[in-house]
Structure 1
Amino acid sequence: MIQVSRACCPPPLHRPSSLPIDLRAALAVVIVAITVLRLAGLERLPVWHDEAHSLVRVLGYDNADLQRLSDGALLTPADLLRLQQPDAERGWPDTLHALAEHPEHAPLYYLLGHLSTRLPLDPVVALRGTAAVFGLLLPLAACWLMRELFGRGAVPWVAALLLAVSPMHLLYAQEARQYALWTVLLLAASAALLRALRRGQSRDWWLYGLLLTLGLYSHLLFIALLPVHALYGWLAGRAPLPVNRPGNRPGNRPENRPEKRQALAWVLAVATALLLFSPWLAVLLSALDSAAGHTQWMERAVGTQRILLAWAQHGVRAFVDPVPQAQAPAALLWLWLPLGIALAHSLWRAPLPQRWFLPLLALAGLGPVLGPDLLLGGSRSLHVRYGLPAILGLQLMVAWSLGTAITRAAGGRSGMGPADPAGAVAQTRGVPGLVPGLVLVLVLGLGLWSQARILLADTWWTKQFSAQNREIARLANAQPRPLVVASPSGITTGELLSLAHDLDARVRIRIQSGADQPLPASERDAIVLLLPGAEVRDALPPGYTVEPVAGTWQWFLAQPSADSPPIRPPGAPVAPSPGARLP
């Protein structure tokens, strides 16, 4: 039995008393009501490239099934959507085989998704609903972690509220991918570690090991959390005892702290988790070249300025996200001024050793994403989904600053250190004391406003390069004899599967394998093209010109008149540059 002294993880210097039960009940109702929005409109936003591939693998279709689409035959949307619907003859072995072909994606979410698609639901709704269930748990996990860090009081509730109204977490809770599961397990495993350090009971360490195992199976980047936990445990074990305890002087440390037993407990939990994860690790190592090929697009250099601007937008969009375009309004970046103040307040005034945990959590998200982009070149930072731990760290530090400010304004103790003199507390009461509460209300209002816009929107920036596919489908559907033609490429099948969800049954689709295949079009038909290569352009009827569809880099329109301007789908943004921009 592993026993760890609770002295190795000192509690906050002051643990505020819990909020009144009526206020806690009211907050719980508000949080539940807001988080239930994650279950609303799961079918609304378009199915984008990655989600389409998620369905393919969850339902047990493999690369060979996708390859059959490229034999040059004319296809219907139903031919493509067959790979988005369950097949009674395909079961668990087929799903495992399909997942093993893409071992860069840990399998837990997809296996759970396989179960959900067996329910009498639309497969898209079922798979997105699986993510939404974990999105419902995210505020609860945040509340647990902040309570383990800073005790009872306003801080855990503010953390739960901020994550409940966050537009970014709403978006990823409604996406058929593993990110909602990953974020929940990041917070839950961290809270379980703090609980095990505080109580030192063997069952707490078993729970921590279990959550680590589930976390590793949720996302490969979960492994970046392990050094964070190790470093925090080491720092917490060497933290001086609080100076306000009787008989302690600044800098004193107890002689009986069982640091070796603490380290052994952690090592055993991590070793058990890694051992249980080893089967999938073996799959990954056996197909390392394939995994590297599927992630090679991340190595495309985009420039330091664009990387830093992307992170600036990610941080703001965690709190307010009013527009569906990938480029957020420049005015939103001014919100970094209050965010910076809140972060500085947390880094300077939060109690030790708890002060270190949330910045370390943020680094667990920044390090594997921003580090390679700056040092080696890459485009990982453009996709916030890979850096969600950094977003969580930012939001929780802001929650601590707001929660402690509200507590102090109410005349309570906030875990920041020795109690304020009566005069200092008195200065926070009255009108100045309303400021933290008003700031919280403003932040919650901006988040709810953003969520309302998302729930009413036809598309959003998290759909990446597929964000305009619904408009492209409308453009194709409007043609007299609609035809969609694609050249073989790394994104062809995913984009066509995404498009097929919104195409009319009369649309015909072809992946052109050679110029010797004539296109079934008359001179008055416009043809929608996906990354047309030489084999497609050579097969076009005489007199056709090819122009890019504004607002996209992969879609083009072939028209019979050389004088025809590019056709722009209604509502599509103007393309930032005429050059093609790969994902």
Structure 2
Amino acid sequence: MINRQSIIAKYSPPIWLRFLIIILLILGIFFRFAYLDRKVYWHDEAYTSLRISGYTKTEFVQKVFNGRVFAVGDIQKYQQPNSEKGLINTINSLAVEDAQHPPLYYVMLRLWMQFFGNSVAITRSLSAIISLIAFPCIYWLCLELFQSPITAWIGVALLTVSPFHVLYAQEAREFGLWMVTTLLESAVLLRAIRLGSKKLWGIYAVTVALGLYTFLFSGLLAIAYGIYVFAIERFRFTKTIKAYLIATSVGFLAFVPWILTIINGLSEIQRTTTSTQTRQSVSVLVSGWISNISYLFADFWRYEPFFRDLNLPVLRWGRFLIPLLLILVIYSFLFLYGQVGKRVWLFVFILSGVPALAFILPDLIIGGKVSLRARYVIPCYVGIQLAVPYLLASQIITSKLITRKFWQVVMVVVISSGVLSCAVSSQAETWWNKSSHANPQIARIINKANNPLLISSNYSLNIGDLMSLVHLLDQKVQMQLVIEPSLPNIPNSFSEVFLYNPSKEFRYQLERKYKLVDVFQYSRLWRLEQKGT
């Protein structure tokens, strides 16, 4: 075991691998910035923009869902920074209605948009830029953990073309930043443990605070790291444990203001997260977990719902990679356990295991589907993206020719699958990580009308979906929005009147006066016509 670790630590990447990594870095950067505005600016991103505007959802509904006719441009001010609301209002909007999302990313994005503009591409570009910081962070983390440059470079290579990370690098959400803070916090912790410097422990305290202010589930990292530190110190109160406890406490103390905000907003958090509490069958949960793991490396077979006219069976066959990728991940953990010291494999196991179990066990015991949301278990995926590069690095430099060639083929297949996935998804208007899938097609139908009016209500998820739709509608479109059970007083001055995602009762009331023509599948969009026409 020691000899293998010593060999891989001294081994430098061969020229062909260095050349491959350079190409992958270029591709990874390209995929993160290309077509930033192509995919639908979906429901959750629209809520990001609402928070950036400084308005709360309640204020937005009061000002817009009042039965008056608004131009699209009038509604867009609630999707961008404006002179009426400042940075404090952005923080307050989160504190009042969305306290489970700490403010760091939203503050950064607000300032970014004030300087550079509020187009979809510019809004998402901050996440894309932040995602680039993950490259040196995973390199550093691999070096701290394995002392192996070749493992570090392969880790970078896999991350650059990971479809999962590329997708979230192109979203106006905080999850790309959370990936960076997770990698940085992990690397700083390992270095602080190794060198014992007070300065490093101080930096670690800062990374704890940054992680918590980025995403609430960073608290699980503190638990995982605590278990790790106590385990490697054999549960003795050593200087390392003391330093860890002090640094972690300082990080949490810095987060106390938002902890108080969370406590004050518990009822609102409970209300807004009820959709995650729907019980799922074990088979659905297991299938979802496996699929999410596979998306770290490939997802090109998911193209069919998003390219309806494209018939490429060869892409559909890619789903057969799912069990193979699962085997690769499982084997990488087993290999790691058998080949490296306890300090190394224990870190990877705990980093992956604690966040995963924190969501899996409640979903199995109490009921829910939080564990199916891949973005919530990013620390778990960091562990996977440490184990797999170590396996590949170890095997492609082995002295056994057949073994070496086999694992070189495996690495090429995994990397090629990632590149293909990124290439396919980059051309799509939407992908598996987004809802609001129908909005681009709905917007095209409405935009074709000469003088259209769009009617809708606050039914179901309409508020977020309508904010998403606003980014796709032409300026000529007018909107009339109401709070159910109120009905709109529809003017007669429009060439076409459309109804967006009505409730059954809302539709029934309108059918008393109008004929409703279904113009889009799944009853998402209707056209209102006078009876008798």
**Fold agreement, TM-score > 0.5:** yes
> RMSD value over aligned CA atoms?
2.9
Moved more, 342-351 or 367-376: 342-351
Query: Cα deviation per residue 1:116-170 (whole Å; 9 max; x = unaligned)?
Result: 0112333433331221122111122111111111112321111111111101100
Pair 1:504–1:406, CA change in 2 (3 A): same
How far apart are residue 348 of structure 1 and its match?
Answer: 3.5
| 1:374 corresponds to which of 360, 364, 376 | 364
CA contact (8 A) 1:143 1:156 kept: yes
1:555 corresponds to: 524
Confirm or deny: 8 A CA contact 2:209 2:251 kept in the other structure: yes
Give the distance between the partners of 2:110 and 2:21, measured in 1 at CA: 32
Is 1:72 matched with 2:67? yes
> Does residue 1:470 correspond to 2:440, yes or no?
yes
Match of 1:19 in 2: 12
SS at match of 1:122: coil
Letter in 2 for 1:337: I
Q: Which residue of 2 aligns with 1:90?
A: 85
Does 2:342 align with 1:352? Answer: yes
Task: State the alpha-carbon separation in 1 of the partners of residues 37 and 203 from structure 2.
Answer: 35
Unaligned runs of 5+ residues in structure 2 are 307-315
Deviation at 1:311?
Answer: 1.1
Of stretches 449-458 and 25-34 in structure 1, the one that deviates more from structure 2 is: 25-34
SS of the residue 1:557 aligns to:
strand
Counterpart code for 2:508: R
Question: What whole-Å deviation, never above 9, does each CA across 1:315-341 have from its counterpart, x for those lacking one?
Answer: 111101113467987534332334433
Q: How far did 1:387 drift?
A: 1.9
Q: Which residue of 2 aligns with 1:534?
A: 505
Corresponding residue number in structure 2 for 1:141: 137
Q: 1:166 matched to which residue of 2?
A: 162
More helix by share: 2
Shift, 1:33, TM fit:
1.5
Q: Is the 8 A contact 1:12 1:149 kept in 2?
A: no
2:299–2:421: 8 Å Cα contact kept in structure 1? yes
2:256 is the alignment partner of 1:278: yes
Confirm or deny that 1:206 pairs with 2:229: no
Q: CA deviation at 1:508?
A: 2.7
CA distance in structure 2 between the partners assigned to 1:94 and 1:369 by the alignment: 32
- In structure 2, the CA distance between the partners of 1:371 and 1:512, relative to structure 1 (3 Å rule), is same
In structure 2, the residue matched to 1:333 is 322
Classify 1:528/1:65 alpha carbon distance in 2 versus 1 (closer, same or farther; 3 Å).
Answer: closer
Q: Which residue of 1 aligns with 2:271?
A: 293
Indicate which of 305, 309, 330 corresponds to 2:287.
Answer: 309
1:388 to 373, 378, 381: 378
1:119 corresponds to: 115
Question: What displacement does 1:294 show?
Answer: 1.6
Aligned length: 512
* Deviations 1:48-96, CA, capped at 9 Å, x for gaps: 0111110111232223134311111122221221212321343222222
Q: TM-score, normalised by structure 2?
A: 0.88
Aligned counterpart, 1:244: none
Post-superposition CA distance 1:422-466 (Å, at most 9, x none): xxx4xx13x4422222221221111111111122222212112x1
CA-CA distance at 1:360 after TM superposition: 1.4
Q: Is 1:439 paired with 2:405? A: no
Aligned position for 2:175: 179
The alpha carbon displacement at 1:393 in A equals: 1.9
1:461 aligned residue: 432
User: In structure 2, which of residues 39, 44, 56 is the aligned counterpart of residue 50 of structure 1?
Assistant: 44
Post-superposition CA distance 1:472-516 (Å, at most 9, x none): 111222346533322323522211110111112232322233455
Mapped contact 2:69–2:478 kept (Cα < 8 A)? yes
Residue type matched to 1:109 in 2?
Y
Aligned AA for 2:27? Answer: I
Q: Deviations over 1:530-552 (max 9, x none)?
A: 242423430245463475943x5
1:419 aligned residue: none
Deviations 1:199-235 (A, max 9, x none): 1111111111111110010100010011211111122
Note if contact 1:52-1:498 (Cα within 8 Å) is conserved in structure 2. yes
Compare 350-359 and 472-481 and name the one that shifted more. Answer: 472-481
CA–CA distance in structure 1, aligned partners of residues 288 and 410 of structure 2: 25
Q: TM-score, normalised by structure 1?
A: 0.81
Distance 1:440 1:175, change over 3 A: same
Residues 221 and 350 of structure 1: is their aligned pair in 2 closer, same or farther, counting only changes over 3 Å?
Answer: same
Change (3 A) 1:115 1:23: farther
| Counterpart AA for 1:45 | K
Aligned partners of 2:223, 2:108: CA distance in 1, in Å? 28
The aligned residue for residue 104 of structure 1 is 100
One-letter code aligned to 2:320: A
| Structure 1 counterpart of 2:312 | none
Deviation, 1:190, is 0.9
Alignment match of 1:452 (pick from 419, 423, 428):
423
In the alignment, the residues of structure 2 paired with residue 498 and residue 325 of structure 1 have an alpha-carbon distance, to the nearest angstrom, of: 23
Partners in 2 of 1:477 and 1:19 — Cα distance? 57
Distance 1:129 1:493, change over 3 A: same
Report the equivalent of 1:150. 146
Q: Read off the aligned partner of 2:223 and give its amino acid letter.
A: P
Match of 2:242 among 264, 267, 271: 264
**TM superposition shift of 1:399:** 1.4
Q: Give distance in 2, aligned partners of 1:130 and 1:39.
A: 10
CA contact (8 A) 2:455 2:497 kept: no
Shift in alpha-carbon separation, 1:442–1:380, aligned structure 2, 3 A: same
Deviates more, 1:502-511 or 1:528-537: 528-537
Whole-angstrom CA distance in 1 between matches of 2:21 and 2:157? 9
Instruction: Report the equivalent of 1:34.
Output: 27
Per the alignment, residue 485 of structure 1 pairs with 455
